[in-house]
Every structure is written in structure tokens, then in C-alpha cells.
């Protein structure tokens, strides 16, 4: 990145408004509008894990808050599940660099997941989500914002088909079943991971890739290895089909129920034979 004389936070914001306006800012704003992710009076806990995706989500929402005609509140929440001192310090430094007033709270999730006999990553993910909802609700929030992006959506969709034998995707927003009145939103839903990486490199930012102490001691998780398979599969397919990711993404918006053999809605199963 060329030296601009701006602070790191202002430089990062300017790059979003100028260089990455078409690839990051516009898709972000488009998702917020298309999926109605924000409403006047929302109090949103932006959940920062230390990675590039959650930090970009926080910065984008902070920028939108300054210019939005509808008022909403933000708090930047970081759950410490048992980070090493070095990783916690790295999160604090990045938060300061991007001028994000992060608030920490502690849990023992890594310690609990480390004792799990099977699927520690699945257990960790479930526990993290519950703790985030609980803490956000305690602080008067009605929504939590996570950093899942377009590429996560496409990879999850393929994983569910190829490994789960079902058609299931990652929705842009979701009501909590266990925390009444709470909702999860994904503002990066239409932003590609490659563009997030480009923004990070351009601004000379270094974020945590994986701060999990359990993963440091064990082999990659099943979910992690399968997700990597999806990345490699899509990369190979794009050589002959450049828009394959877009097609997978759009397919989840264009489900033709008349041609589906069976589906489940709100716990009830339906078959094409019901109306045959």
C-alpha cells in the first residue's frame, strides 16, 4: 500500500470507499438492503474473533453507522475462549489500529472442547454461538453480526450436498431458537473471500488465521479438511467454469419446489407424492 499520511483506520476505510467500493462496499450494502439485515433501533453485537472476516465486518458496520439514515447501535464484542496471551494481544493491537473499541469477555470453551472425545470443533462452534448470544443479550443487544462471507456460503452448500446428503445453506440472517428476541446476521454475505484478502494485503494488515489451542495440538478438523476440499474443487472448476461460485450461490435463491422430490419445512416433511 502506498503511504497516504492517513492513520491506519482512515486508510483502511478510504480503500473500502475507493479501491474496493465495487467488490466490498457495494456488495456489503447490497446484502444489508436485499436481506433486510438492519432495522431502526437495532443494537448489534459485532462479534470479533480476531480474523480478517470479523474485523472487516466490524469496520463496514462502523462506517455504515456514520452515514445511515436509520439509527442503530453497535458494540464490538470479543469472546476470549482461552486465547494465548500473544493472540489476545494481536486482537487488541488490530482493534486499536482500526479504531474499533473492542470489549472482551472470558469463557473456558477451548478447555472444554479439548476434553471432547469426538468433534471438538463442532462442540466449540456450538458453545461459542451460545456464549455470544448470551453475552450480547445481557448487554441489551437484539442481534449479533458474524463474519461469514460469500465463499463460506458456497462451500457450506456444497459440503451439505456432497457430505451431508442434503441441500442446505447458510442463510443471511437467522432467529435464535434458544435466546428469545435474538437474531444472527451475516453482513458479508455477498462479499468474496478473495476480495477480503486483497483488502487485507493492500492495507498491510495481519490478522489471526486460527487461534484455536485445540487445533494447534491436533490434526485439522473434519470440517476444516472438507472445507479445504471444497475450496480446491471450486478452484479447479473455475478454470473451465469461471462463474461456478455465482451459480451455486444463485441456486439457493432459485429452488424450484415443483421438481424437488422431498423437503422439510418447520420440522414437517413434504413429498412430491403429496400433490402428485
Place of cell 451459480: 247
CA dihedral 243, 249, 251, 253 (to 10 degrees): -140
- Look up the pTM and report it: 0.90
Q: Tell me, what's the pLDDT at 17?
A: 97
Q: Looking at the predicted structure, is the pLDDT value of residue 247 above 80?
A: yes
Percent of the chain with pLDDT strictly greater than 70: 88
**pLDDT classification of 121: cutoffs 50, 70, 90:** low
Give me the mean pLDDT over the 170-196 stretch.
97
Decide if pLDDT at 2 tops 60: no
Q: Please report where in the chains the cell 439509527 appears, as a residue.
A: 71
- Residues 192-207 have a mean pLDDT of 97
pLDDT for 201 beyond 80 = yes
Predicted local confidence at residue 219, as pLDDT: 47
Q: pLDDT: is 121 or 143 the higher one? A: 143
Q: Of the given ranges (14-28, 59-73, 100-114, 142-156), which has the lowest mean pLDDT?
A: 100-114
Q: Is the pLDDT of residue 101 over 60?
A: yes
Mean pLDDT score of the chain, rounded to an integer? 91
**Residue 200: all three cell numbers together:** 487485507
Q: Is 73 helix (H, G, I), strand (E, B) or coil?
A: strand
Enter the C-alpha cell of residue 101: 473499541
Under the banding of pLDDT at 50, 70 and 90, the label for residue 50 is: very high
Regarding predicted confidence, which is higher, 31 or 122? 31
Mean pLDDT of the 85-107 span: 95
At residue 126, the pLDDT reads: 75
CA nearest neighbour of 208 among 107, 90, 39, 48: 90
Sign of CA dihedral 24, 155, 227, 184: positive
Amino acid at each position: 500500500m502506498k503511504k497516504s499520511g492517513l492513520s491506519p483506520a482512515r486508510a483502511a476505510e478510504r480503500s473500502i470507499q475507493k479501491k474496493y467500493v465495487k467488490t466490498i462496499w457495494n456488495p456489503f450494502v447490497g446484502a444489508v438492503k436485499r436481506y433486510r439485515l438492519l432495522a431502526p433501533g437495532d443494537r448489534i453485537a459485532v462479534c470479533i474473533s480476531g480474523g480478517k472476516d470479523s474485523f472487516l465486518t466490524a469496520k463496514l458496520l462502523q462506517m455504515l453507522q456514520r452515514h445511515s439514515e436509520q439509527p442503530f447501535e453497535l458494540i464490538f464484542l470479543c469472546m476470549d475462549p482461552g486465547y494465548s496471551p500473544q493472540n489476545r494481544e494481536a486482537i487488541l493491537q488490530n482493534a486499536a489500529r482500526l479504531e474499533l473499541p473492542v470489549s472482551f469477555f472470558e469463557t473456558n470453551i477451548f478447555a472444554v472442547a479439548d476434553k471432547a472425545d469426538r468433534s471438538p470443533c463442532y462442540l466449540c462452534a456450538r458453545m461459542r454461538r451460545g456464549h455470544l448470544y448470551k453475552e450480547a443479550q445481557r448487554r441489551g443487544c437484539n442481534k449479533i453480526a458474524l463474519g461469514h462471507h460469500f465463499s463460506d456460503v458456497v462451500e457450506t452448500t456444497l459440503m451439505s450436498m456432497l457430505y451431508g446428503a442434503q441441500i442446505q445453506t447458510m442463510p443471511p440472517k437467522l432467529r435464535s431458537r434458544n435466546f428469545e428476541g435474538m437474531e444472527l446476521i451475516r453482513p458479508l454475505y455477498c462479499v468474496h473471500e478473495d476480495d477480503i484478502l486483497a483488502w487485507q494485503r493492500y492495507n498491510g494488515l495481519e490478522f489471526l488465521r486460527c487461534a484455536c489451542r485445540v487445533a494447534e495440538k491436533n490434526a485439522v478438523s473434519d470440517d476444516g479438511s472438507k472445507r479445504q476440499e471444497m475450496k480446491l474443487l471450486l478452484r479447479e472448476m473455475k478454470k473451465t467454469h469461471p462463474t461456478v461460485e455465482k451459480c451455486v450461490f444463485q441456486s439457493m435463491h432459485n429452488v424450484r419446489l415443483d421438481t424437488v422430490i422431498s423437503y422439510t419445512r418447520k420440522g414437517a416433511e413434504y413429498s412430491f407424492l403429496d400433490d402428485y
